[in-house]
C-alpha cells in the first residue's frame, strides 16, 4: 500500500517542473546562434574585395599621362588657373615666375591678349615626342568662332619629399638648334684668322749689256 506521504511527494513533483531539463535546450540555442554568426562573418570576409596597392608613378604609362592632361585641361576650361598652376613642376613654376606673367597669359600667349574662354582641349597623342625624361604632347585649344591654338605640353616625372608625381614642365615649342650644313667647309686660315703669306715668284735672270 502507498502511504499518504508518497502520494503527496508524487503530486508535488507533477506540479513543480524540473528546471534542470531546460538548461540543455538553452545551450543548444546559444551554440546554433554562434555557428550562424561565425558563418556569416566568414562569408563577409571571404567575399571582401581586397584592392591592390596603387601603381607607382611611371612616365611612359599612357593612362597616368592622360589623367594628368585631362585634369589640367579641365581646370583650364573652367578658368581655374590657380589650381592648374599647382600641377606645374618645380621647373615649370620657375619658368612661369621668370616670365612674370600669370598662367593664362603664358599658356595662351598666342591669343594676344584675348580673354575668351577655352571651350575644348584635344590632345594629339599620336604625335607625342617621347624621351627618357619627358613626354611632349600637343594640345589643340578651341575658342569661340572655331578659333584654335596649338600648345605643346611637356610632362615630366618629379619627386617631392618622399612622393613622386607627374607634372607639366613646359608649354612652349622648343625650336631646333641651327646646325651647319654638311656641305659647308672651312679652311684652316679662316678658322685661325691668319692669312696665308703670298708665295714669292722665282726671280728671272736678266742678261748683262755689253
**Percentages (nearest 5) of helix, strand, coil residues in the chain:** 40, 20, 40
Whole-angstrom distance, CA of residue 32 vs CA of residue 41: 14
| pLDDT of the chain, 210 residues: tens digit per residue | 555 445 555 555 555 555 545 557 778 788 888 888 888 887 787 777 777 777 788 898 999 999 999 999 999 999 999 999 999 999 999 999 999 999 999 999 888 767 788 999 999 988 899 999 999 999 999 998 888 999 999 999 999 888 899 999 999 876 655 555 555 444 444 444 444 445 555 454 444 544
Instruction: Say what the pLDDT of residue 119 is.
Output: 93
Q: What is the pLDDT of residues 63-112, one digit of tens each?
A: 999 999 999 999 999 999 999 999 999 999 999 999 999 999 999 988 87
Burial of 114 (0-12, 13-18, 19+ CB in 10 A): exposed
How many other C-beta atoms lie within 10 A of the C-beta of residue 164? 14
pTM of the model: 0.59
Q: What CATH number should be reported for the domain whose range is 62-170?
A: 3.10.450.50
How is the chain split into domains, by residue range?
Answer: 62-170
Instruction: Say what the pLDDT of residue 89 is.
Output: 95
Find all residues with CB under 8 Å of 103, minimum gap 6, and list them.
81, 84, 85, 88, 96
Supply 168's cell numbers.
607639366
Q: Where are the alpha helices (DSSP H) in 141-209?
A: 188-192
Amino acid at each position: 500500500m502507498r502511504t499518504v506521504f508518497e502520494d503527496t511527494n508524487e503530486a508535488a513533483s507533477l506540479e513543480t517542473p524540473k528546471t534542470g531539463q531546460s538548461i540543455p535546450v538553452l545551450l543548444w540555442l546559444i551554440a546554433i546562434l554562434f555557428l550562424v554568426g561565425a558563418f556569416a562573418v566568414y562569408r563577409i570576409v571571404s567575399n571582401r574585395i581586397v584592392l591592390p596597392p596603387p601603381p607607382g608613378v611611371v612616365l611612359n604609362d599612357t593612362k597616368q599621362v592622360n589623367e594628368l592632361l585631362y585634369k589640367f585641361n579641365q581646370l583650364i576650361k573652367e578658368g581655374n588657373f590657380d589650381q592648374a598652376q599647382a600641377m606645374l613642376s618645380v621647373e615649370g613654376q620657375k619658368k612661369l615666375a621668370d616670365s612674370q606673367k600669370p598662367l593664362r597669359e603664358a599658356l595662351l600667349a598666342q591669343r594676344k591678349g584675348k580673354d575668351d574662354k577655352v571651350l575644348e582641349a584635344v590632345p594629339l597623342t599620336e604625335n607625342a615626342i617621347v624621351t627618357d625624361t619627358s613626354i611632349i604632347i600637343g594640345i589643340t585649344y578651341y575658342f569661340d568662332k572655331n578659333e584654335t591654338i596649338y600648345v605643346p605640353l611637356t610632362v615630366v616625372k618629379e619627386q617631392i619629399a618622399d612622393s613622386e608625381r607627374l607634372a607639366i614642365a613646359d608649354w612652349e615649342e622648343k625650336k631646333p638648334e641651327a646646325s651647319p650644313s654638311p656641305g659647308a667647309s672651312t679652311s684652316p686660315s679662316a678658322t685661325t684668322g691668319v692669312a696665308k703669306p703670298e708665295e714669292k715668284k722665282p726671280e728671272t735672270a736678266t742678261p748683262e749689256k755689253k
